[in-house]
Structure 1
């Protein structure tokens, strides 16, 4: 059986989004959390689950915009605190809205990649320093998602919110 690059990347995105695999997907990792739990931080040097979700939403949307040509890649940046910040009041409605935003970003990424020809994945990311094919960028985006989903699961376990 043959699996294309697109098949593998769509499988990775599904594993991050809502398809239980080797680690709990995002949908499972945040299921049942209250707004107060999501906003909890150990200290000022750590991120809350809410901040991690905002961060993942930012980067998934950003790379999707690069992929479809809505934005031109400039730099990965220093991953500064601005990508982790949220202004919303800590309440149920805002937390649900934040979760839905990342869910929608995952769906959009999966739909867009599924709709593009396989050849797009072999093209280089324009403006990226060095050679970076789209399949590598999307694969790294999935790894980034898995890393932060692991942090969410770890925070839940630490706090007994399992």
Structure 2
């Protein structure tokens, strides 16, 4: 919930990307950094991969490198990317709410690491928005 749609100690992903245009999502201050869109692609890749594993669904393929997870390989629009990550995060919440205690205990370390990974990249998104001058302090953590 904290990573998905409710601000807590940090801004949730939904609030971090709310109101971002496709142009803003693609913005980079230089070529060695990732754009917001690239970061969301990366989050979608890893969250879907771990969700599949959590639910016993085989993942179709691996990746050549971690860097490749940032790119929009499916060439989907920014709005479709937002819908995709929102669905993945909603599915995570549902899967966690519906699992038993034993499974939760078995997965607690993996989920903790995934949550830290999400929080790190959400912080990057907020930082990029601040660099662009596209962050409203009312959206969450200052």
Q: Distance in 2 between matches of 1:106 and 1:40?
A: 24
Q: CA deviation at 1:159?
A: 1.1
Hey, what does 1:85 align to over in structure 2?
A: 71
- State the distance in 1 between where 2:102 and 2:54 align: 13
CA deviation after TM superposition for structure 1 residue 103, in Å = 0.5
Larger Rg: 1
1:138 maps to which of 98, 105, 111 = 111
- Distance in 2, Cα, partners of 1:28 & 1:106: 13
Unaligned runs of 5+ in 2: 136-142
CA distance in 2, matches of 1:42, 1:69: 40
Larger RCO: Structure 1 or Structure 2 (Cα < 8 Å, ≥ 6 residues apart)?
A: 2
- Identify the match of residue 55 of structure 1 among 34, 37, 42: 42
Structure 1 residues 79, 26: CA separation in 2 closer, same or farther (over 3 Å shift)? Answer: farther
Q: How does 1:66-85 map to 2 (within 5 A)?
A: 66-71=53-58, 80-85=66-71
1:82-122 residue CA offsets vs partner (Å, 9 max, x unmatched): 10001437xxxx11110111010000011011111011123
The alignment covers a number of residue pairs equal to 133
Q: Does 1:151 align with 2:134?
A: no
Cα distance in 2, alignment partners of residues 144 and 79 from structure 1: 17
CA distance in 2, matches of 1:18, 1:71: 27
TM-score by length of 1: 0.76
CA deviation digits over 1:112-142, x for unaligned, max 9? 111110111233xxxxxxxxxx100011101
Sort the Cα spacing of 1:71 and 1:105 in 2 relative to 1 into closer, same or farther, 3 A: same
Aligned partners of 1:154 and 1:47: how far apart in 2? 12
- Over the aligned positions, Cα root-mean-square deviation in angstroms equals 2.0
Aligned twin of 1:18: 5
